[in-house]
A and B are shown apart, each in its own frame.
Chain A
Amino acid sequence: MRLLRLKPGHGEIVVAEGDVEVPEQERELIEAFRRQLDEGMCAAVPTETSSGRREAELVKSFAEVPRDAERVIFFPRAAGGAGAMSR
């Protein structure tokens, strides 16, 4: 599993990577996951439905992440924007 974070000026960076079946690596993933939430990030897991449609699932804790998920993507929390959004 890889934890990725969207970053201004860079694109995604790998925050942590490990095998959830290996306890030590799972602990590291959990710690990295918490750090990202503490920094104000949202976490989403890209998924694919049985009909083949792709969507995302927001997760609030590592326990909610499907064990077979390949990646979790962290991105800044949504905030209502205004004029500053336009170029």
Chain B
Amino acid sequence: MWLALGTAAVVLLALLWELARPRLRRELANRRAAAAARRERAAQSGYDPGRERRAEQRARALLRSCVEEEAWSMYRDLGFLRVWGGLGDRAQGASYAYLIYPHKPIVAYLPQTGEMLNEYCVAFPDHSRPYGSARLPDSDDVLAKWMALTADERHLIAEANMHLPGRQIDPERVSRDLVRLAAWERERAGRGADSVPAA
């Protein structure tokens, strides 16, 4: 009797398995596809704040190692860099300068009057989109602009889309930034560069 019951149980299990197998297989395939789709979506649009923060920290360290101490302090304290036009400086008679903001147009202006001259829209898109975005970290964008501007100002300006002031950056903001820059320079000159705290 036990033998008959055991045989019947085995046959029953085998039948159930045969019945359930296609359904289980479909279910498994669906789950795999859903997981793959989730991974794909995460890779395409996955914004990971921790990763972005670490990327920005690396970018800031690299920028700091490339530009002068004064320029780094300016960026750290004010959020933008000033680069003198014509690769000169005031002592050499630069008559214009640029403000470099992260992921914003480069602004040309007259230091003597604070008058904005033009906006130069330029971007450095990485089409390989390693984390689903073509956009460099903020400080890397500033570094790329700084390198391109100090290495070949003419070429960068030729590549950029030139617009009249106010197209993308509020002229009021630039005016405020120039006031902040002047105050920052006065303060820095007053206390001496050596006492500026490190980042």
Contact = CB atoms under 8 A, between A and B. Distances in A.
A85 B119 CA distance: 12
A6 B141 CA distance: 9
A11 B135 CA distance: 11
Contacts of B59: 6, 11-12
Contacts of A73: 62, 66, 143, 147
A45 B48 CA distance: 31
Nearest to A11: B58
Given A53-B68, A73-B147, A87-B103, A11 B54 contact: yes
Contacts, number: 140
B188 interface: no
B17 interface: no
A65 B134 CA distance: 27
B151 A11 contact: no
Interface string B95-137: 0000000011100000000000000011111111111111111
Nearest to A56: B147
A66 interface: no
Contacts of A7: 55, 126, 130, 136
Chain A contact-residue range equals 20 to 34
B131 A8 contact: yes
B108 to A, nearest CB: 15
A87 to B, nearest CB: 7
A44 B103 CA distance: 20
B123 A85 contact: yes
A8 B168 CA distance: 23
Interface string B131-160: 111111100100110111011100010011
A11 B133 contact: no
Nearest to A9: B131
In the A-B complex, the 4 residue pairs with the smallest Cβ-Cβ separation, listed nearest first, are A11-B58, A9-B131, A81-B123, A56-B147
